[in-house]
Structure 1
Amino acid sequence: MTASNSDPALAVGENTVVTVEFWIMSTDGEALDDSDGPVSFLHRGLDSLLPRLDDGLEGKTAGFEQTFHLEPSDAFGDYDPELLRVEPRSRFPEPIEVGMQFEGVPGDAEDGEETEVEPDDGDSDENALIFSVTDLTDDKVVLDANHPYAGMALRVRIKLLEVRPADPEEIEQGYADSDEESDDILDALIEARRNPGTLH
């Protein structure tokens, strides 16, 4: 991990690495998710947050804290009913459970043959839709490729912990170096920025 060389007076801007904690809530204050501790990213880099949040952090220094209201268009996109599918359970491997994820959705195979859907292993093409199982019956599977927060207005509270200059390597690669594994919710925010309305 890059050694910290933060400057309390350094403001968030181009070629800075930002460390924050954040909490995501519904508009009525229900806690939905959080960063589970500090996370670092290159401001407006490949690992950055949503553009609305990047804008809110621009020019701020360590110690800044604010709750931002995000409309669906600023967050995880509008809910797309076209991304909801009901498929025969026979096309899926057993056992199958609510919450499981699959790359793509079974279509009409050539020559009318049915093909079994393979679970997502996390190494799928970044442009492929990932469908989550949201409901099951004895013979049907309900799949949804919308993000769980799609169509929701959200409140995101951000606490700015540290700002430091990005290293040349970080600037070149477009993201901050870290020893930590990517956090799921940060990944979701990143993906929403790239592809609103999809879960990956």
Structure 2
Amino acid sequence: MQIAPNTVVSMHYTLTDEGGQVLDSSAGQEPLVFLSGARNIIEGLDNAIQGKSAGDEMKVEVTPEEGYGPVHQELIQQVPRENFQGVDTIEVGMQFMAQTPNGQQPVTVIGVEEDGILLDGNHPLAGKSLSFDVEIVEVREATSEEVEHGHVHGEGGHEH
């Protein structure tokens, strides 16, 4: 069976950045299981594996536009230290949840300065080209319930 929208895909992957540094991998773990076409994984990777079958291996290059998007400068802001009352030490790389007009959003500390803390609300992989080494393990038809819910049920998927 070939990967198409509304198929359940099990795959192993290794994700590297432009410098070849491994950012994430399923090596030594269970494969990633997802519903193709349901925005369960980034668009560029889902598009690239369409038509592939169990046993296929490939390298997939994903641009920022088909990955986590470009860096939005308006999501980088300096906030007063007073916003972090009760936090004794603030260091670059720490993550917090910020209250925004659209609800809570994760932010990453990218700078600690005397007059405030520089926060980035972009996804940590925004603006980056990504490389995936992929091995398709299994492909099956999704159940009508999985399609309706937009995710995989059962082993490797969501339990209700």
Q: TM-score range by the shorter chain?
A: 0.7 to 0.9
| Counterparts of residues 19-30 of structure 1 (less than 5 Å) | 19-30=10-21
User: How many Å separate the matches in 1 of 2:157 and 2:81?
Assistant: 34
How high is the sequence identity, in percent, across the aligned residues? 28
Q: 1:63 aligns with which of 55, 69, 80?
A: 55
Q: Is the 8 A contact 2:18 2:129 kept in 1?
A: yes
User: How many Å separate the matches in 1 of 2:128 and 2:95?
Assistant: 22
Name the SS of the counterpart of 1:129 in structure 2.
strand
Q: 2:145 aligns with which of 169, 179, 183?
A: 169
Name the SS of the counterpart of 2:65 in structure 1.
helix
Partner of residue 78, structure 1: 70
Please say if 1:133 is aligned against 2:133.
no
Residues 141-181 of structure 1: per-residue CA shift (max 9 Å, x gap): 11100112221112111111111121221111111014558
Deviation for aligned residue 1:139: 4.8
Alpha-carbon RMSD: 2.5
Q: Is the 8 A contact 1:46 1:175 kept in 2?
A: no
Please say if 1:11 is aligned against 2:2.
yes
User: How many Å separate the matches in 1 of 2:128 and 2:96?
Assistant: 21
Deviation for aligned residue 1:25: 0.9
Amino acid at match of 2:22: A
Partner of residue 149, structure 1: 125
TM score, norm. by length of structure 1:
0.67
Q: Which has the higher strand share?
A: 2
Q: Is the 8 A contact 1:67 1:156 kept in 2?
A: yes
Residues 35, 178 of structure 1: CA spacing in aligned structure 2 closer, same or farther, 3 A cutoff?
farther
Amino acid at match of 2:124: P
Deviation for aligned residue 1:60: 1.0
User: How many Å separate the matches in 1 of 2:98 and 2:73?
Assistant: 18
Q: Is the 8 A contact 2:44 2:63 kept in 1?
A: no
Moved more, 26-35 or 62-71: 26-35
Residues 26-75 of structure 1: per-residue CA shift (max 9 Å, x gap): 2232212224631111111142x222212221111111111111121111
Question: 5+ residue gaps in structure 2?
Answer: none
Please say if 1:53 is aligned against 2:18.
no
Q: Is the 8 A contact 1:133 1:144 kept in 2?
A: yes
User: How many Å separate the matches in 1 of 2:154 and 2:111?
Assistant: 37
Residues 106-139 of structure 1: per-residue CA shift (max 9 Å, x gap): x9xxxxxxxxxxxxxxxx94xx533222332455
Q: 1:89 aligns with which of 64, 74, 81?
A: 81
Question: 5+ residue gaps in structure 1?
Answer: 1-9, 108-123, 183-200
User: How many Å separate the matches in 1 of 2:18 and 2:83?
Assistant: 38
Partner of residue 32, structure 2: 39
Aligned length: 153
Q: Is the 8 A contact 2:3 2:51 kept in 1?
A: yes
